[in-house]
Structure formats: C-alpha cells, structure tokens
Structure 1
C-alpha cells in the first residue's frame, strides 16, 4: 500500500473474526482498494452493506477476485453495535479501538 494509505489506515486491519491482517499489500500491483465509511444506525448504510456484500462476493468469486479489497471505516461510538454490524461484512475493517484513525 502506498505510504500515505499506510499512515491513514495503519499497518494492521482486522477481518470480521477480529483476526489481524497486514495492510501493506493492499492497493498495490494494480489492486483496487475501496474505503467504505458507514455505521449501523443509518438505514442507508445498512442497505448499502447488503448490496456491497453481494457485489463483493460475486467479484471475489470471479477471475480477478484477488484484485479487490474493501476496508470498512466505522462511525460507531459503541463497541456492541459495531461488532454486530461488522459481523455480516466479508471484508477488512479498521479495528474498533483504533479511533484516532477514523
């Protein structure tokens, strides 16, 4: 990932199971990186999450699935709603405790 993106997102992200994932390979070698800003309390975000999840799953199953990654950046203030919301997301996310990067 570019140095600027590493500074913005940090060196480690998490998946929905809270496993750490190194962020440095993201956005390199022709890979696409989408930043998704959202929250559970917004009906529009909840609807968009379903649509994006469907698109993401179909893209990942395709010929160039390894070329796309999404990183979710939450506006949640409380951990429990965040945890419930990200539990349905198949992509990476900024760790909840990494509040200064939001």
Structure 2
C-alpha cells in the first residue's frame, strides 16, 4: 500500500514537471529560427547567422511573450556585422510560430 502511494505521488510530480516544461517559452531552435527571420526581415533574405546562442528566457509580466538573451554572428547585405545584434529580445508566439516582437536591450 505504501509503495502505491509513493508511485502515485511520483507520477503526479512528473506530470506537473512535464506540463510546466512544455508550456514554457520558445525552445533553442525556435529562438534561432525567430532570430534568423528577424534579421532577414530587417536586412534581406540572404542574411545568415552563425554561432547562435540563447541561454535564458523569462516570462514577460502581463504579456504573452518571453524575453530571451541572444548572441550570434550576423552576415547581411554583403557585410559582416559580427555580434552587433547581440541583446535581449521579446519572443511572442504568433500564428503558431515564435517571432521576435521587440528588443529589450
């Protein structure tokens, strides 16, 4: 009897953890895709990014978005911009796709 209560408690805890993880912000690959689209929309379709990193996201208060740090080397309009676009960006899910909707810093 004691073991079944323990199993039930563990299953419940795992369910809560999985639900909280799956309902969070954009994944690393979703952030990279959103950043690439953002760069292309603000330069040209030939823009490329390299060495993309984004480690931390925070849920924005009172908004359906997340602020996430971003670092990447950008090449656009036949120029190498290096890491000039590094910063903290707002990511919002629109039409089922994560998009950058602003730059926080």
Please, what TM-score do these two structures have when normalized by structure 2? 0.24
Give 1 or 2 for the bigger CA radius of gyration. Answer: 2
Larger RCO, structures 1/2 (Cα 8 Å, 6+ apart):
1
Structure whose residues are more often strand by fraction: 2
Structure whose residues are more often helix by fraction: 1
Please, what TM-score do these two structures have when normalized by structure 1? 0.25
